[in-house]
């Protein structure tokens, strides 16, 4: 299971790292290059929760194996031709496969392990994500330097078949009770699949056209309101409304959302600080930016093990406090010792997320039980993606707004901001990130005690 998360993460992180070089090889425009990333993220965010509900209905193993094959075989499309249309189509198929895997993977662990070992199991599974973030960029660089660019995608084929064979042999096939009599809330699924990416797209267009972005965002919010009204009226809703009412459940979801939003403000701005203020080279910046993933990798498994011993509550709060402490270090950044401070901050924030992720995931899956494990996993991944997008958008808005208000000048490109100006803007942006992170700490405190285990799970 950890190998599957490793494969999906390496695929995304390696492509993101070498995208400028791949665009040069394939003669892609800026919009075409962005499309390879955006289309994957939009499709993934649109259907993650739907795939989770589907897994809860037809069986987690079947859905996971289908996603593994889909993800692996999608790479063959790059062998058909080198047109941007085929590559975008391949990324859509990949996103579908990844959604099926991500939404059903932790649910399989929930069924395979006893309650006292689930935190450790999910911790090891999450470790694959951190390791993929670390290994992806150098693997992508090695492939472009020594192999054909096609191997950025073809590398998924052997890994996916190993995962498929292993899970087929190890995990028994279980029939879902009353699965033949379940009804699908297709209208609710459709509303959700349109509303979430609509909000995501509105954020990505904010810097280009605020009026259009606001209109798209309003449409997304309207669809969410319509979705909630519909879910409250149907007998078998697609969305777990009864779970959202539980403080420990919505606290875990939204602390994840605000935590990742706070993290991705510095994640977006630190590379510019290293370039504009300190004048570092790209490979130096890449090395420093990988520190967060290394810290997450080092602490995720340990945190999962500890959550089985001492519960989830304290670890979730401790993780968010560490994330907030790392942002305080960045707020106090001094150019004379910036590299040391940024390194320490990256370690602290990475440890915070590493400590938080595993117990938070295990806690929410335990609250929902096996019957809702897939949709819970889908919601967690959706909140994480939304948090990343929101944090990136807030960072971009903070730069342009601060520069206009403080220096009374509009800025078209971040790279054109003078070093002295950027240091002040960075400081104000970190203050904003701190406030968002502080909200995530509060949301983690509203779920006191160890979440109970559902009757079905027992």
Average the pLDDT over each of 14-18, 94-98, 141-145, 173-177 and give the range with the smallest value. Answer: 173-177
pLDDT, tens digit, for every residue of 413-448?
A: 666 788 888 888 888 999 999 999 999 999 888 865
pLDDT at 12 over 80: no
Taking the complete model, does pTM exceed 0.85, yes or no?
no
Query: Taking the chain, what is the end-to-end CA distance rounded to the nearest angstrom?
Result: 23
pLDDT at 452 over 50: no
Residue 366 — pLDDT band, cuts 50, 70, 90?
confident
d(CA 207, CA 220): 18
- Helix (H, G, I), strand (E, B), or coil: what is residue 217? helix
pLDDT at 450 over 50: no
What CA dihedral angle connects 432, 434, 437 and 441, to 10 degrees?
A: -140
| Mean pLDDT (the chain, rounded) | 80
Q: Which CATH superfamily is domain 239-448+454-458 in?
A: MFS general substrate transporter like domains (1.20.1250.20)
d(CA 26, CA 83): 8
Residue 454 — pLDDT band, cuts 50, 70, 90?
very low
Give the per-residue pLDDT at 451: 46
pLDDT, tens digit, for every residue of 226-283?
A: 988 888 888 777 777 777 778 888 888 899 999 988 988 888 788 878 888 888 776 6
Residue 162 — pLDDT band, cuts 50, 70, 90?
very high
Residue 329 — pLDDT band, cuts 50, 70, 90?
very high
Alpha helix segments (H runs only) across 113-185: 118-146, 151-154, 156-170
Q: Which residues contact 243 (CB under 8 A, 6 or more apart)?
A: 249, 367, 368, 372, 376
Give the per-residue pLDDT at 457: 41
Q: Which residues contact 272 (CB under 8 A, 6 or more apart)?
A: 414, 415, 422
Give the per-residue pLDDT at 395: 81
Give the per-residue pLDDT at 413: 63
Instruction: Give the CATH fold of the 1-173 domain.
Output: Growth Hormone; Chain: A; (1.20.1250)
Contact 11, 151 (CB under 8 A): no
HSE, CB side, 13 Å, CA atoms: give it for residue 294. Answer: 11
- Is 239-448+454-458 the same fold as 1-173? yes
Domain ranges of the chain: 1-173, 188-236, 239-448+454-458
d(CA 334, CA 339): 9
- Arithmetic mean of pLDDT, 125-131: 77
Give the per-residue pLDDT at 56: 76
Q: Which residues contact 306 (CB under 8 A, 6 or more apart)?
A: 119, 315, 359
d(CA 175, CA 60): 10
- Arithmetic mean of pLDDT, 90-107: 85
Q: Which residues contact 68 (CB under 8 A, 6 or more apart)?
A: 4, 97, 100, 101, 160, 163, 164, 167
- Arithmetic mean of pLDDT, 168-195: 73
- Arithmetic mean of pLDDT, 352-366: 85
Give the per-residue pLDDT at 17: 65
pLDDT at 140 over 50: yes
pLDDT at 356 over 80: yes
């Amino acid at each position: 299971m950890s190998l599957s998360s490793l494969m999906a993460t390496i695929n995304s992180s390696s492509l993101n790292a070498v995208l400028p070089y791949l665009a040069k090889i394939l003669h892609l425009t800026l919009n075409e290059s962005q499309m390879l990333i955006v289309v994957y993220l939009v499709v993934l965010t649109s259907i993650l929760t739907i795939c989770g509900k589907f897994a809860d209905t037809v069986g987690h193993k079947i859905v996971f194996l289908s996603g593994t094959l889909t993800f692996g075989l999608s790479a063959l499309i790059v062998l058909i031709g080198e047109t941007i249309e085929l590559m975008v189509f391949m990324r859509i198929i990949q996103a579908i496969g990844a959604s099926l895997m991500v939404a059903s993977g932790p649910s399989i662990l929930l069924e395979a392990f006893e309650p006292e070992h689930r935190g450790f199991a999910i911790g090891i599974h999450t470790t694959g994500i951190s390791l993929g973030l670390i290994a992806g960029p150098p693997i992508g660089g090695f492939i472009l330097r020594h192999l054909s660019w096609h191997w950025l995608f073809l590398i998924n084929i052997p890994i996916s078949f190993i995962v498929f064979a292993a899970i087929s042999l190890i995990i028994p096939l279980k029939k879902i009770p009353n699965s033949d009599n379940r009804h699908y809330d297709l209208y609710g699924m459709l509303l959700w699949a349109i509303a979430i990416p609509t909000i995501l797209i509105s954020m990505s267009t904010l810097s280009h056209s605020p009026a259009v972005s606001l209109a798209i965002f309003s449409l997304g919010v309207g669809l969410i309101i319509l979705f909630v009204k519909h879910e409250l009226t149907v007998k078998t809703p697609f969305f777990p409304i009864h779970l959202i009412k539980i403080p420990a459940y919505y606290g875990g979801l939204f602390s994840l959302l605000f935590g990742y939003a706070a993290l991705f403000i510095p994640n977006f701005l630190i590379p510019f600080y290293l370039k504009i203020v300190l004048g570092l080279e790209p490979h130096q910046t890449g090395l420093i930016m990988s520190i967060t993933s290394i810290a997450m990798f080092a602490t995720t498994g340990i945190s999962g093990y500890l959550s089985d011993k001492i519960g989830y509550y304290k670890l979730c709060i401790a993780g968010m406090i560490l994330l907030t402490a790392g942002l305080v270090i960045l707020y106090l950044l001094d150019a004379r010792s910036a590299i040391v401070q940024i390194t320490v901050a990256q370690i602290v924030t990475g440890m915070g997320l590493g400590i938080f992720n595993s117990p938070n995931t295990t806690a929410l899956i335990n609250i929902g039980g096996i019957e809702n494990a897939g949709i819970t996993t889908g919601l967690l991944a959706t909140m994480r993606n939304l948090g990343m997008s929101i944090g990136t958008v807030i960072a971009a808005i903070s730069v342009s707004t601060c520069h206009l208000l403080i220096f009374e000048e509009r800025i078209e490109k971040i790279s054109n901001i003078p070093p002295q100006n950027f240091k002040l803007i960075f400081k104000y942006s970190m203050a904003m990130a701190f406030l968002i992170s502080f909200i995530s700490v509060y949301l983690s405190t509203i779920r006191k005690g160890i979440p109970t285990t559902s009757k079905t799970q027992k």
